[in-house]
A and B are shown apart, each in its own frame.
Chain A
Amino acid sequence: MGCERINHSLTWDSIDPSNQKLTKITKVLTDSRPIRLKGRSFLALTLTPELPLEGWLARLDDLASRSAGFFLRKPVVLDVEGLEIDRARLKELIDELGRRGVRIMGLEGARASQLGADMPPPMAGGRPGPDFEAPLSDPGANPEKPLASVSPPEPQPVRTPSIIVNRPVRSGQSVIFTEGDVTVIGSVASGAEIVAGGSIHIYGALRGRALAGSMGDSSARIFCRKLEAELLAIDGLYKTADDIEPQFHGRAVQLWLEGDSIMAEALV
């Protein structure tokens, strides 16, 4: 069962010989093929400057002096929510941080008037992560391991996260759960979408879009009671309704990824 390729990072040596012919054909046909779009999340260190900035910078210098390289190779986001400074002063602050080796990758909570082409891009939708532990105040305590200052995440019970949606997913609604599996008890309407980091289980008709393994999990699967989907995707590889073999239409089906092909099988 062939499917559209939307991966640009593929190299020829990585192709399984049995698949080569198929890929070659597709390559000829699709110079304008869409680029594979994938999500990736990083844990960014967030700095929240406080007024007066001179005092805050002094405290930052104090922290940096305790641990050279604390900010090295860490993405840093500047949270300026509620910080009453204009664009020029914000630029100055970013330059000051730059002189200290702190590179700002984005601004969170910035007003439009504070942003500009020469400023880091605005960021939104950040979620709290585990705290970064500041280096100890005693400079001699751990001098040889300055980078080991990220505290380990809280120990959590090991389980696969999943959510259950207990009613039909209507047109225009999307259920996005990148952390794990999504189970829907009911149908997914035309124009609705389910995006899951893991597998998708639909106890009803799938008429909308289902995107499983969206964070790069090629072992994710899609299960549904009745397949009438507009689009199916696993790990960034997709199939539109037209590409789905007609014999699976309206049937209970499971879909998975084998190499670069989405495979389907009717469930009895």
Chain B
Amino acid sequence: MGKVIVVTSGKGGVGKTTSTAALGAALALRKEKVVVVDFDVGLRNLDLVLGAERRVVYDFVNVIQGDAKLAQALIRDKRLETLFLLPASQTRDKDALTADGVERVIGALKKSFDWIICDSPAGIERGATLAMRHADIAVVVTNPEVSSVRDSDRIIGLLDAKTAKAERGERMEKHLLLTRYDSGRADRGDMLKVEDVLEILSIPLLGIIPESTDVLKASNLGTPVTIADSRSGPALAYLDAARRLAGESVPVTVPGEKRGFFGKLLGWRAA
């Protein structure tokens, strides 16, 4: 059975879709079978970031409503043959997602994929709660600034209350992915430091993605940053984060600081 990951944040524009695509591609590079699912019905973007926007025929809502079979809606990536996309519908809204329908689709995907990565819409409403509903693991994407951190904190509260796992009395595994981090600005006090964010959110760290123009460049090209330029700072950070998700022990480094130093400080452990 595949593992279901939700990539969520509460706040918009912090890098959920970018991170979904980058982590999905990174896991697929390991030859694992990955599907990324766009839950942002009405404002879909994951197809663009993956460069698959012109190949969308059927979408998530079509599958839920029985207009298309799941296999018809899945789009295989042209570069990585184990990476698939289940696109959202752009012409509908979040109400088109039903709890039963989502459960059915996720259940079916778990049978044929190793990883199901759900790209959550921003907010805490229906789309976001359905995206997290059946997750085994949550990746909480946060920018090093106070509003993003507070929204993430709110989302963590919901992950512990509103998910199927929480309702069964189990503990939801939650990881922090700190994106758009600039150690220079953090040192000057222009943004929060890694320690501050970790102290407030108190969940384990999955990775720190440096602020970089490479991310925007890759998005505009329709290529996940992890395959656009695998030597770039963000790509290395996402590749490491994917290895940690897969259970490897990789020390966390703060971009711009000496490798390993911070890793010793924080360590990496699964929640």
Question: In the complex, are the beta carbons of B202 and A171 less than 8 A apart?
Answer: no
Contact of A187 among B146, B150, B154, B202 (CB under 8 A): B202
Question: In the complex, are the beta carbons of B150 and A191 less than 8 A apart?
Answer: yes
Complex: how many Å from CA A205 to CA B199? 9
Q: How many residues of B contact A (CB 8 A)?
A: 13
Nearest B residue to A191 by beta-carbon distance?
B150
Question: In the complex, are the beta carbons of A190 and B202 less than 8 A apart?
Answer: no
Interface string of A189-215 (1 = CB under 8 A from B): 111100000000000010100000000
Question: In the complex, are the beta carbons of A170 and B200 less than 8 A apart?
Answer: no
Given A168-B202, A207-B200: A190 in contact with B150 (beta carbons within 8 A) = yes
Question: In the complex, are the beta carbons of A187 and B200 less than 8 A apart?
Answer: yes
- Whether B211 sits at the interface, judged by CB under 8 Å, is no
Interface string of A170-186 (1 = CB under 8 A from B): 11110000000000001
Residues B214-232 near A (CB distance < 8 A)? none
Question: In the complex, are the beta carbons of B151 and A170 less than 8 A apart?
Answer: no
A42 to nearest B CB, angstroms?
A: 32
B39 to nearest A CB, angstroms?
A: 20
B162 to nearest A CB, angstroms?
A: 11
| Residues from chain A with Cβ under 8 Å of B154 in the complex | 170-172, 191
Complex: how many Å from CA A173 to CA B124? 13
A227 to nearest B CB, angstroms?
A: 15
Question: In the complex, are the beta carbons of A173 and B202 less than 8 A apart?
Answer: no
Question: In the complex, are the beta carbons of B160 and A189 less than 8 A apart?
Answer: no
- Whether B252 sits at the interface, judged by CB under 8 Å, is no
Complex: how many Å from CA A168 to CA B160? 11
Contact of B157 among A172, A190, A205, A207 (CB under 8 A): A172
Residues A153-174 near B (CB distance < 8 A)? 167-173
**What are some 16 contacts across the A-B interface (CB < 8 A)?**
A168-B202, A170-B156, A171-B151, A171-B154, A172-B154, A172-B158, A173-B157, A187-B202, A189-B153, A189-B200, A190-B146, A190-B153, A191-B150, A191-B153, A191-B154, A192-B157
Give residues in B with beta carbon < 8 Å to A. 124, 146, 150-151, 153-154, 156-158, 160, 199-200, 202
- 5 more contacts with CB within 8 A, not counting A170-B160, A189-B153, A205-B199, are A167-B160, A170-B154, A172-B124, A172-B157, A173-B157
